[in-house]
A and B are shown apart, each in its own frame.
Chain A
Amino acid sequence: MEISVLRVLETPLEKQLTPEIKKKIIHKALFSRCLEERLLELYSQGKLFGTVHTCIGQEFSGAVITEFLQPGDSIFSNHRCHGHFLCWTENLTGLIAEIMGKQAGVCSGRGGSQHLCQDGFYSNGIQGGIVPVATGLAFARKLNSEGKIAIVFIGDGTLGEGVIYEAFNLAAKWELPLLVVLENNGYAQSTCQTETLAGDICSRAAAFGIRTAKGDTWNWEQLYAIANNVVNYVRNESKPAFLQIDTFRLKAHSKGDDNRPRSVVEPYEQKDSLNLLLAESQPELIALQQEIEHLIDKAVAEAEASPYPEVKLPTTREQKIEWQETTVTKQRLVKALNQTFKDLMREHPKMLFIGEDVKSPYGGAFKVAQELSDLFAERVFNTPISEAAIVGLATGLAMEGYFPFVEIMFGDFTTLILDQILNHASKFRYMYDEQVTANAVIRTPMGGGRGYGPTHSQTLDRHFLGIPGLRVIALNNLLEPKPLYQTILETSLDPTLVIENKLLYSQYLREQLPEGFKRLVSNEPLPTVWIKPETVAVDVTLIGYGGMSETLVKVGDRLFEEHDLIAQIICPTQIYPFSIKPFLEIIAQSKILAIVEEGQGFAGFGTEIVTQIAEADPSLLPKVTRIVPPAISIPASGPVETAILPNVDKIITAIVEKK
């Protein structure tokens, strides 16, 4: 029965295109055209910030596609997004003001031309990166099973971005209601497609088993029917589709950077649908155009009247740290983590567990996910080896209210997710002016000591420190993981990267501390641990996190026994954002400050600590030492690896040298 309906839909249904709808589509296209021409004017008047990528010549793409969208659907777009946005939201003032950088902008001027957001519309200026996010949102829509879909516009030049194929694969394999609209204008910035594109466009999507269709903006009435067909397919079948829309950009890529010869552009000017319509000089259209111009005048005036937004800085909570003694139950960390996720998934029906090889019986490379898929079969997902796409996927899911936990098998592979984190997930809440949250949790094991060699042993957290909007957490064996993950899950508005140390997995949570040392935890949401020696004379402050926790406890004991030095340990759990200020009083008690890092020291956490201390109270810095590995890759050979990574002996030696 469904199939027969589809058969009908497959044939062009021009007859459905009523005069009213036609008028509406033309209206939208003309609206886009007039607006962007005005934007170019405003641009040359110096009234806009940044640049404008106009879709002049391509307007019917957005005008037609948006006809088939429903409230609750989502549209993702790229740098050339004004037309799409306007056709979907009709928010003229919000758009103009945004590009003018005004308070009345849809993102209060935070996003600007390429980063718009309203009512399920999201655009981003990174080519292709948004496709996995759209896929994740489509996934959420599928899980919600309310018949809502996601659409993503990309350009033909973006076919060069690998991540889109990761997303295509996922969308096809998992049958996600995602429509990819490829606006094929033959150029990427200055580069003609013939220089860079191999093979056939639609075949690329088709290779994943994605239904494909083709249309163009010159025959927009036919495009209407094709789009109608494709969108219905995506919506009704909950499967992805790929729609290639051939079109042509009549103006420059952005601003005035057009190097295409007139001979190439001119024919398209002549066949441009809107140009042809306007050339007819129909009174109705002229009136419409005048009306639009009038609306634009008004919107520009409103936008100009709007003030520039105030600089809003994050409120740093310089609350007073309080300390409390605590204990942990002796248990291997991997077991404690496994139990944590079992508990959390039971408590939170919207929590999802996503990763490579995480399902039973394998349970993840480090067995953290053991048995999860037995218990929660419909919420644990084995993924293709597509780190970027699954992080984007998680971002999209999180935007829709899910609690996705992504496992990246080895921390070394986080290089592949950097763009998804840095240019997407961590940006969204701010640049979309608090209209969305993206609290995806990305967990990954890091660290050496297992002989896995240069690309499977690294501690790369340093590369993720200092990304506004991204919280970086390092688990240690001094705190129970459950409350930490609970907090991460329940309190976050932004993505979180959690580093779990490989060696710690098999070690026990430190129940027993050496005699004379107390475990105090701060009242921060993600507490810092202070291993406090009970003494009247502290000599050394050790700062280290993650896998260093166990090492530092041993260092503390041996410094006392062998070198008559009393050490305290500060072991932060949240390593970004991080301020050392609340701990200065504690540090001030000691004479030597030793910062221990398993990752490279250059421009790392320790560097930041030292700088912050220097800014706050340089008198605390006379004796600082950083114990970090040398600037070489981590060798596989066990003894050589041991020789370069910080260990108890090396830390002690460095401290004794400082004494």
Chain B
Amino acid sequence: MKQEILVPRVNTNDDEVELVHWYVEDKQFVEVGQEIADVESSKAVMSIESEAAGYILTSARVGDSIGVGAPLATIYNELAELEADLNGGAAAPAKRDRSTPVRESTVPLVVTNGAVQTKLDSEQELIDEKIEKSQQDLVTVAAKPSFGFTRFSPSAKEYLKQHNLDASQFEGMGLVSVEAIEQILGKKSQPITPGNGGHSATVVTPSLSNSNLRSEKVSKAKQIEISLLTAGQAGGINSSLTLQFNSAGIRQTLAETGSLNGQILPLVLFEFSRLLEEYPVFNAYYEAGRIYYYDRIDIGLAMDLGKGLKVPIIRNANFLSPVEILETVTDYATEYLDNRLDPADLIGGTVTVTDLSNEGILHFQPLLNQNQSIILGIGGDSSIDGYPLTLTVVFDHRISAGREVASFLNELKKRLLSYALSNLPQTQQLAKTKNVQCSKCSIDLHSLYQKFGSEALMQVHINEQGETDYICHVCLEGF
């Protein structure tokens, strides 16, 4: 007994999908409902679950385009039967050769959302060919929309306002409804602000949108280095540095002052975003011999609360207080769990942070996102004395060097540790309970809470004189 698992229709537009990931290997035993593969349509990546339990034999490879309704894998009751098929049985599912397209696309790429995905690697040519064909078939459909005008629906205008979106992004997009905005962003987000944790093969036509970013040419010597590195690493020229320190002190402060629900992450994001202002090269990306500097700090926060990886964007993070960051993160988490994340919130990150410290992962190396130059990984292990915390920065070597990253990390560590009461002199530690008062506006802790409720934050720091001092969140502009 065997059962084929067919490629389902993911959406009405696509007659074929691309296989982007196998979760299983041939001959592995899979359960009903177990995720076996991810496929990508023009609109979304979708997981395929096994419809049967048994031993799996895959019929396609990652990168294959598979027609809807075509077999993806076969589930066998008996391993023996699988092996019989595999060893040249007539019914053996033909492994498709990557070089030959699975199926000639009968439906031309009718470009519904305008943006045809561009792919970075060698498949580019194949796709170009397809687009050309579709253009012949459907003379009037352009591969890339530029309609030469923009007409927003009233709802779309409202949406732009609400989401603080720049209308100029939609220049030339013709009729723009809310749906259109979401499609354009979902599809074309990478060019503007990539690195939203999307699939790595899917990227980027940056030319249009990054034109307004400040850029500077990479030096000749660096370019030679890059080309060598590129050859060696096929594009991803990434390194990483990690720094470890104990976080118990910081956590204790947060717990005792009742700040940030005792969470350290908002604090890290807060300091990270402010420090980035001093390191613009980490809020930038490399492309074709140039470094493009983002004009804003939008931190993508990788989240996986059990429903797949999502990277909502904390916009203009460097202008938010720790409490505001906490609130943003909490909102996103709620939306994530309710499946309510607004697609517009998932695009446009300029840098990414991923936090596994609550998972008991002390150290890991996150993957750098497209069109970003660093990603910060936060690890931690509460079971170890002092609750060690690691900060790992994976960075694009084409843009920055290890020394810069090291100084960045050390500065970040210093700023974070400044929150730890244990680092304060004993007397100063006690002082906090006596007369906690903002060193700038002189508001006391009690009044601050009266006035701002849960938004209130009085921060402890060491002033230039080396003394403990307090500053309220209102006066706080970062260090």
Q: CB-nearest residue of chain B relative to A622? A: B12
In the complex where A324-B140, A589-B110 touch, is A534 in contact with B177 (Cβ < 8 A)? no
Judging by beta carbons under 8 Å apart, are B13 and A588 in contact? yes
Chain B interface secondary structure, helix, strand, loop or mixed? loop
CB distance from B280 to the nearest CB of A (A): 33
CB distance from B171 to the nearest CB of A (A): 13
The answer to whether B360 has its CB under 8 Å from any CB of chain A is no
Judging by beta carbons under 8 Å apart, are B180 and A535 in contact? yes
Among B108, B112, B156, B187, which residue has the most Cβ atoms of chain A within 10 A? Answer: B112
Instruction: Mark the stretch among A55-63, A151-159, A437-445, A560-568 that contacts chain B.
Output: A560-568
Residues of B within 8 A of A585 (CB): 107-108, 110, 138
Judging by beta carbons under 8 Å apart, are A586 and B176 in contact? no
Judging by beta carbons under 8 Å apart, are A535 and B173 in contact? yes
The one of A536, A564, A586, A591 in contact with B155, judged by C-beta atoms closer than 8 angstroms, is: A564
The one of B107, B115, B140 in contact with A536, judged by C-beta atoms closer than 8 angstroms, is: B115
CB distance from B415 to the nearest CB of A (A): 43
In the complex where A535-B174, A536-B183, A537-B180 touch, is A564 in contact with B139 (Cβ < 8 A)? no
The answer to whether A516 has its CB under 8 Å from any CB of chain B is yes
In the complex where A589-B112, A619-B9, A619-B12 touch, is A533 in contact with B154 (Cβ < 8 A)? no
The answer to whether A641 has its CB under 8 Å from any CB of chain B is no
Q: How far is the CA of A534 from the CA of B108 in the complex (A)?
A: 18
The answer to whether A351 has its CB under 8 Å from any CB of chain B is no
Per-position contact with B for A583-602: 1 when CB-CB < 8 Å, else 0? 00110110100000000000
Judging by beta carbons under 8 Å apart, are A537 and B113 in contact? yes
In the complex where A515-B149, A589-B13, A619-B12 touch, is A566 in contact with B175 (Cβ < 8 A)? yes
The answer to whether B184 has its CB under 8 Å from any CB of chain A is yes
Judging by beta carbons under 8 Å apart, are B110 and A586 in contact? yes
The one of B12, B139, B155 in contact with A620, judged by C-beta atoms closer than 8 angstroms, is: B12
Judging by beta carbons under 8 Å apart, are B139 and A588 in contact? no
Judging by beta carbons under 8 Å apart, are A534 and B139 in contact? no
Residues of A within 8 A of B9 (CB): 619
Judging by beta carbons under 8 Å apart, are B12 and A537 in contact? no
> Chain B interface residue count: which class?
20 to 34
The answer to whether A317 has its CB under 8 Å from any CB of chain B is no
In the complex where A588-B13, A589-B13 touch, is A537 in contact with B140 (Cβ < 8 A)? no
Q: How far is the CA of A423 from the CA of B463 in the complex (A)?
A: 102
Per-position contact with A for B156-196: 1 when CB-CB < 8 Å, else 0? 10000000000000000111111110111001000000000
The answer to whether B137 has its CB under 8 Å from any CB of chain A is yes
Judging by beta carbons under 8 Å apart, are A534 and B13 in contact? no
Judging by beta carbons under 8 Å apart, are B139 and A566 in contact? no
CB distance from A521 to the nearest CB of B (A): 10
In the complex where A589-B13, A589-B110, A620-B12 touch, is A560 in contact with B140 (Cβ < 8 A)? no
Judging by beta carbons under 8 Å apart, are B110 and A536 in contact? no
Q: How far is the CA of A560 from the CA of B174 in the complex (A)?
A: 12
Residues of A within 8 A of B145 (CB): 534-536
The answer to whether B153 has its CB under 8 Å from any CB of chain A is yes
Q: How far is the CA of A555 from the CA of B472 in the complex (A)?
A: 56
The answer to whether A488 has its CB under 8 Å from any CB of chain B is no
Per-position contact with A for B1-29: 1 when CB-CB < 8 Å, else 0? 00000000100110000000000000000
Judging by beta carbons under 8 Å apart, are B153 and A560 in contact? yes
The one of B12, B108, B112, B178 in contact with A564, judged by C-beta atoms closer than 8 angstroms, is: B178
Q: How far is the CA of A522 from the CA of B179 in the complex (A)?
A: 28
CB distance from B348 to the nearest CB of A (A): 18
Judging by beta carbons under 8 Å apart, are B149 and A539 in contact? no
Residues of B within 8 A of A536 (CB): 112-115, 145, 173-174, 180, 183-184, 187
In the complex where A320-B137, A566-B180 touch, is A534 in contact with B12 (Cβ < 8 A)? no
Residues of B within 8 A of A589 (CB): 12-13, 110, 112
CB distance from B159 to the nearest CB of A (A): 9
Docked complex: B372-420 residues within 8 A CB-CB of A: none
Q: CB-nearest residue of chain B relative to A538? A: B112
Residues of A within 8 A of B147 (CB): 516, 534-535
In the complex where A566-B179, A588-B12 touch, is A534 in contact with B174 (Cβ < 8 A)? yes
The answer to whether B222 has its CB under 8 Å from any CB of chain A is no
The answer to whether B151 has its CB under 8 Å from any CB of chain A is yes
Residues of A within 8 A of B176 (CB): 535
Task: Give the size of the chain A interface in residues (CB under 8 angstroms).
Answer: 32
Docked complex: A217-261 residues within 8 A CB-CB of B: none
In the complex where A536-B184, A537-B179 touch, is A561 in contact with B138 (Cβ < 8 A)? no
Docked complex: B334-352 residues within 8 A CB-CB of A: none
Judging by beta carbons under 8 Å apart, are A516 and B112 in contact? no
Among A534, A560, A566, which residue has the most Cβ atoms of chain B within 10 A? Answer: A534
Q: How far is the CA of A562 from the CA of B110 in the complex (A)?
A: 27
Per-position contact with A for B122-162: 1 when CB-CB < 8 Å, else 0? 00000000000000011110000101010101111000000
Residues of B within 8 A of A324 (CB): 139-140
Docked complex: A522-580 residues within 8 A CB-CB of B: 532-539, 560-566
Judging by beta carbons under 8 Å apart, are B12 and A323 in contact? no
In the complex where A536-B174, A536-B184 touch, is A516 in contact with B151 (Cβ < 8 A)? yes
Docked complex: B275-330 residues within 8 A CB-CB of A: none
Residues of A within 8 A of B140 (CB): 323-325, 518, 520, 532
Residues of B within 8 A of A532 (CB): 140
In the complex where A535-B176, A539-B177, A588-B13 touch, is A323 in contact with B139 (Cβ < 8 A)? yes
Per-position contact with B for A612-628: 1 when CB-CB < 8 Å, else 0? 00000001100000000
CB distance from B287 to the nearest CB of A (A): 24
CB distance from A646 to the nearest CB of B (A): 23
Residues of B within 8 A of A516 (CB): 147, 149, 151, 174-175
Residues of A within 8 A of B115 (CB): 536
Q: CB-nearest residue of chain A relative to B8? A: A619
CB distance from A516 to the nearest CB of B (A): 4
The one of A322, A517, A518, A620 in contact with B138, judged by C-beta atoms closer than 8 angstroms, is: A322
CB distance from B43 to the nearest CB of A (A): 11
The one of A322, A323, A518, A564 in contact with B153, judged by C-beta atoms closer than 8 angstroms, is: A564
Q: How far is the CA of A535 from the CA of B114 in the complex (A)?
A: 7
Docked complex: B247-290 residues within 8 A CB-CB of A: none
Residues of A within 8 A of B151 (CB): 515-516, 560
Among A322, A324, A620, which residue has the most Cβ atoms of chain B within 10 A? Answer: A322
CB distance from B130 to the nearest CB of A (A): 15
Residues of A within 8 A of B184 (CB): 536-537
Residues of A within 8 A of B113 (CB): 536-537
Judging by beta carbons under 8 Å apart, are B177 and A535 in contact? yes
Residues of A within 8 A of B137 (CB): 320
Q: CB-nearest residue of chain B relative to A532? A: B140
Q: How far is the CA of A589 from the CA of B12 in the complex (A)?
A: 7
Q: CB-nearest residue of chain A relative to B172? A: A534
Residues of A within 8 A of B173 (CB): 535-536
CB distance from A317 to the nearest CB of B (A): 16
Among B9, B115, B154, B175, which residue has the most Cβ atoms of chain A within 10 A? Answer: B175
Judging by beta carbons under 8 Å apart, are B177 and A566 in contact? yes
Judging by beta carbons under 8 Å apart, are B110 and A537 in contact? no
CB distance from B263 to the nearest CB of A (A): 38
CB distance from B220 to the nearest CB of A (A): 40
Q: How far is the CA of A564 from the CA of B155 in the complex (A)?
A: 6
Residues of B within 8 A of A588 (CB): 12-13, 107, 110, 112
Judging by beta carbons under 8 Å apart, are A535 and B139 in contact? no
Among B151, B155, B182, which residue has the most Cβ atoms of chain A within 10 A? Answer: B151
Residues of A within 8 A of B174 (CB): 516, 533-536
Q: Which 6 A-B pairs have the closest CB atoms?
A: A534-B174, A564-B155, A536-B114, A537-B180, A535-B175, A534-B147
29 A–B contacts from the bound complex (CB under 8 Å): A322-B138, A322-B139, A516-B175, A517-B175, A520-B140, A534-B147, A534-B149, A534-B174, A535-B114, A535-B145, A535-B175, A535-B176, A535-B180, A536-B174, A536-B180, A537-B112, A537-B177, A537-B183, A537-B184, A539-B179, A563-B155, A564-B155, A565-B177, A566-B153, A566-B179, A585-B107, A585-B108, A588-B112, A589-B110
A residues neighboring B (CB under 8 Å):
320, 322-325, 515-518, 520, 532-539, 560-566, 585-586, 588-589, 591, 619-620
